[in-house]
Amino acid sequence: MRLVEVEHVVALVADRGLETVLADLVDHIEADFRRWDEFDKSPRFASHSPGGVIELMPAADARAFGFKYVNGHPGNQAAGLQTVTGFGVLADVATGYPYLIAEMTLMTAMRTAAMSVLAARHLARPDARSMALIGLGAQSEFQAVAFHALLGIEELVVYDVDPAATDKFRRNLDARDIRVRVAASAPEATEGADIITTATADKRHATIVSANMVGAGVHLNAIGGDCPGKTELQPAILDRASVFVEYLPQTRIEGEIQQMPADFPTTELWRVIAGEAPGRRHRDEVTLFDSVGFAIEDFSTLRYLAEATAAPHLHREVDLLAQPADPRDLFGVLGRLPVANHA
């Protein structure tokens, strides 16, 4: 059984380059979205507490069962802890044996950026070259690198309420050939942008982007509105935009469309990717990817890791299964133990 820790993911990214890993994640998610109907899509299990939520997100096809453990604790950051951490598991459906446990803290950030790029390929104008990026938290650099490397974004105009976040963002992208301009406000950042990405951590109904900031033909990539009570866009934007979602039953509860009536029209993105529904229909259309993160994306990511981490320096072998030669002889695994009376 293979354990992929944070250090192994860092080594994988060092070996292959972040851009290549992101490109491979896009390919894996795209392949799985194309075969959407093959997946067992269960609702996630959520355990709520005053401080946040712990979720188990399962997804399975005929060969593999996967799930991700993920938490969301908005108060963590003030204590110097991450808001979101996670790990994932893949198991063999035929035997029930798990074969991969992997960190999904870094990988979730990468798969979220890969998913954004996959959506933008179908929804943004093909000649999009500039992106506004509002909210420079843990997800921001991954979005920046993914859109630059995989979608041809040449200029980023960025904004965060906290100058320290902006400094961190610039420092992290320093070594990369990405043009970054810092705006003094969100409206300034969005001015003239072909794509607007929002990735703020504010846990309430906030108006990060209002309708007057969104010009004709813009694609909105809304990452931060991802749980009940947390949205980033003014409802008037939703009325103007063609809205695309991952999995409607989940997005209704967690996405930007929680602000809208239950019959608000949307398109599930897999239908666009599979060629069953149109993506962007004309240059002036405003498109919105209302991203909340779905279990199949994590499944694709775990599937990628299972393929990519076979080399000995990219994982550690661990044993959680015992595997006695005679399966009925589990007791024998304990060996010949000293008998009794140890207390």
Terminal Cα distance for the chain, rounded: 33
Contacts of 14-18 spanning 24+ positions with Cβ under 8 A: 15/314, 16/308, 18/110, 18/145
24, 32, 160, 226: which one is catalytic?
A: 226
Pick the closer one to a second copy by CB: 197 or 266. Answer: 197
Pick the closer one to a second copy by CB: 93 or 253. Answer: 93
Q: What is the longest distance spanned by two Cα atoms in the chain?
A: 80
Pick the closer one to a second copy by CB: 3 or 260. Answer: 3
Please report how close the Cβ of residue 161 comes to a second copy at its closest, in angstroms.
Answer: 12
Q: Which of residues 125-164 bind a second copy (CB under 8 A)?
A: 136-142, 149
User: How far apart are alpha carbons 158 and 99 in whole angstroms?
Assistant: 41
Please report how close the Cβ of residue 10 comes to a second copy at its closest, in angstroms.
Answer: 6
Interaction of residue 172 with a second copy, rule CB under 8 A? yes
Please report how close the Cβ of residue 226 comes to a second copy at its closest, in angstroms.
Answer: 15
Active-site annotation holds for 194:
no
What separation in angstroms does the CA of 119 have from each of 70, 125, 244, 279, 342? Answer: 23, 12, 9, 9, 61
Interaction of residue 19 with a second copy, rule CB under 8 A? yes
Interface stretch with a second copy, choices 40-48, 222-230, 274-282, 291-299 (CB under 8 A): 40-48
User: How far apart are alpha carbons 147 and 277 in whole angstroms?
Assistant: 24
Interaction of residue 320 with a second copy, rule CB under 8 A? yes
User: How far apart are alpha carbons 212 and 227 in whole angstroms?
Assistant: 25
**Contact pick of 127, 175, 262, 263 for a second copy (by CB under 8 A):** 175
Please report how close the Cβ of residue 266 comes to a second copy at its closest, in angstroms.
Answer: 27
Interaction of residue 311 with a second copy, rule CB under 8 A? no
Q: List phi, psi (to 5°) of 176.
A: -105, 150
Signed CA dihedral, 9, 132, 176, 168: sign only: negative
Tokens coding 321? 């299964």
Please report how close the Cβ of residue 185 comes to a second copy at its closest, in angstroms.
Answer: 20
For 33, half-sphere exposure in the C-beta direction (CA atoms, 13 angstrom radius) is 27
Please report how close the Cβ of residue 137 comes to a second copy at its closest, in angstroms.
Answer: 5
Pick the closer one to a second copy by CB: 79 or 262. Answer: 79
Instruction: Give the residue from 144, 130, 124, 150 showing the smallest Cα distance to 218.
Output: 124
The contact pattern for a second copy, residues 97-126, with x = CB under 8 A and - = no contact, is: xx--xxxxxx--x-----------------
Q: Which of residues 42-71 bind a second copy (CB under 8 A)?
A: 42, 45, 47, 49, 51-54, 56, 58, 60, 62, 65, 67, 69, 71
**Contact pick of 15, 154, 239, 307 for a second copy (by CB under 8 A):** 15
Tokens coding 201? 């951590």
- Catalytic residue ranges: 226
